[in-house]
């Protein structure tokens, strides 16, 4: 093994824990990376529950491979390498079981397994853990899913985490030339999926909502509470991109057609017209949590969380998630 005196403190402590078969110390040293590893798995998989499972799988693999750690890379890098390959193995099995349209380069193809990520589970220090707001928001997560899995891994390791090409190549058992080629192709796809967005994801943006975002969420909630269809329509852009998961498909529609569709689907009609809402953030994005009280019920019950992208004070994208089956969002079930 590498001489522990030449290592960083975590690496030396990890090697000492392995030599002593100290599982408690092993867990302590690896557990501090859980949140950032879970975000990494989420970027790879777009599913919060899968990201939780794969993070746990990472720690299990790390334990089984503990004797292989020599301190040639940092403990953090070693864990990221294990997590990335665990995700790639998972994607290979998932894509082999069922056709996953999100792997296709169709800009409107679905990501049916997409789940929201609770902000309370993000690392506490965004800069230290390389969690920029742009790389956790839904548009970015969806765009990344349109990359083939190994290309996706290269893009995240190189352009999000800022790894050198040689380190990325070693983690994925690729040549540096293959990594460079995969990154170039990934950047082309990401520019197509996110026009006008920067690709320098390593400079974290502010995590605070703007005044315009707060205003849009407040107005969206108030329109629901008043059953103000005209007011709701006025908040939406006429090129609104709308999705209600797990229903398939992303629809680009006018504001009026969107509201008409919601009404024809039963919303704002008797039994679905008594709303209360609260503002929150999900995936570092503004969101409205809507509660519905049906006739005869004394309480408002958790119904949906609407994650919004606001441009120039209007809602440009609205992604709705059924919320009652997602306790990990940490939302109260009733008001």
Q: What is the pLDDT along the chain (335 residues), one digit of tens a residue?
A: 333 335 788 899 999 999 999 999 999 999 999 999 999 999 999 999 999 999 999 999 999 999 999 888 999 999 999 999 999 999 998 877 654 443 333 444 568 889 999 999 998 765 555 567 789 999 999 999 999 999 999 999 999 999 999 999 999 999 999 999 999 999 999 999 887 777 776 665 666 889 999 999 999 999 999 999 999 999 999 999 999 888 767 888 999 999 999 999 888 988 889 999 999 999 999 999 999 999 999 999 999 999 999 999 999 999 999 999 999 999 999 99
Q: How far is CA 200 from CA 89, 322, 325, in A?
A: 28, 33, 35
Which pLDDT does position 102 carry in this prediction?
A: 39
Which pLDDT does position 87 carry in this prediction?
A: 98
Q: Angle 176-193/138-145 helices, nearest 10 degrees?
A: 130
Based on the number of CB atoms within 10 Å of its own CB, is 35 exposed (0-12), middle (13-18) or buried (19 or more)?
middle
Based on the number of CB atoms within 10 Å of its own CB, is 68 exposed (0-12), middle (13-18) or buried (19 or more)?
exposed
Which pLDDT does position 150 carry in this prediction?
A: 97
Which pLDDT does position 4 carry in this prediction?
A: 39
CA distance 333 to 300: 9
CA distance 131 to 133: 6
Q: How far is CA 168 from CA 89, 179, 180, 281, in A?
A: 17, 7, 10, 32
What would the two tokens of residue 170 be?
């070693």
Domains of the chain, each with CATH number or no CATH: 4-193 (1.20.140.160), 211-329 (3.10.450.50)
Which pLDDT does position 32 carry in this prediction?
A: 93
**Residues β-bridged to residue 277:** 290
Query: Pick from 227, 221, 251, 224: which is nearest to 317 by CA?
Result: 251
Task: Mention every residue, 6+ apart, whose C-beta is less than 8 A from residue 321.
Answer: 115, 116, 245, 304, 305, 307
């Amino acid at each position: 093994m590498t001489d522990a005196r030449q290592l960083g403190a975590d690496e030396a402590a990890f090697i000492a824990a392995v030599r002593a078969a100290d599982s408690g110390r092993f867990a302590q040293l690896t557990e501090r990376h859980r949140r950032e590893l879970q975000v990494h798995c989420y970027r790879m998989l777009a599913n919060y529950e899968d990201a939780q499972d794969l993070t746990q799988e990472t720690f299990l693999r790390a334990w089984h491979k503990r004797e292989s750690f020599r301190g040639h890379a940092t403990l953090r890098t070693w864990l990221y390498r294990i997590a990335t390959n665990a995700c790639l193995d998972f994607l290979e099995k998932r894509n082999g079981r069922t056709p996953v349209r999100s792997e296709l380069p169709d800009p409107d193809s679905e990501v049916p397994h997409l789940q929201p990520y609770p902000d309370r589970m993000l690392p506490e220090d965004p800069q230290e853990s390389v969690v920029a707001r742009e790389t956790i928001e839904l548009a970015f997560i969806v765009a990344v899913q349109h990359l083939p899995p190994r290309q996706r891994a290269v893009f995240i390791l190189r352009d999000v985490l800022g790894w050198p090409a040689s380190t990325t190549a070693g983690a994925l058992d690729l040549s540096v030339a293959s990594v460079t080629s995969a990154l170039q192709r990934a950047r082309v796809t990401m520019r197509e999926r996110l026009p006008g967005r920067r690709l320098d994801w390593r400079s974290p943006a502010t995590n605070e909502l703007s005044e315009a975002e707060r205003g849009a969420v407040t107005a969206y909630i108030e329109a629901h509470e008043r059953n103000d269809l005209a007011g709701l329509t006025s908040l939406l852009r006429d090129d609104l991109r709308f999705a209600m998961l797990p229903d398939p498909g992303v629809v680009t529609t006018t504001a009026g057609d969107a509201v008409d569709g919601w009404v024809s689907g039963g919303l704002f009609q008797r039994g679905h017209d008594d709303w209360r809402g609260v503002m929150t953030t999900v995936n570092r994005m503004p969101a409205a949590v809507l509660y519905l009280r049906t006739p005869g019920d004394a309480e408002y019950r958790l119904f949906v969380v609407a994650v919004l992208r606001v441009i120039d004070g209007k809602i440009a994208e609205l992604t709705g998630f059924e919320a009652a089956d997602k306790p990990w969002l940490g939302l109260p079930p009733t008001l």
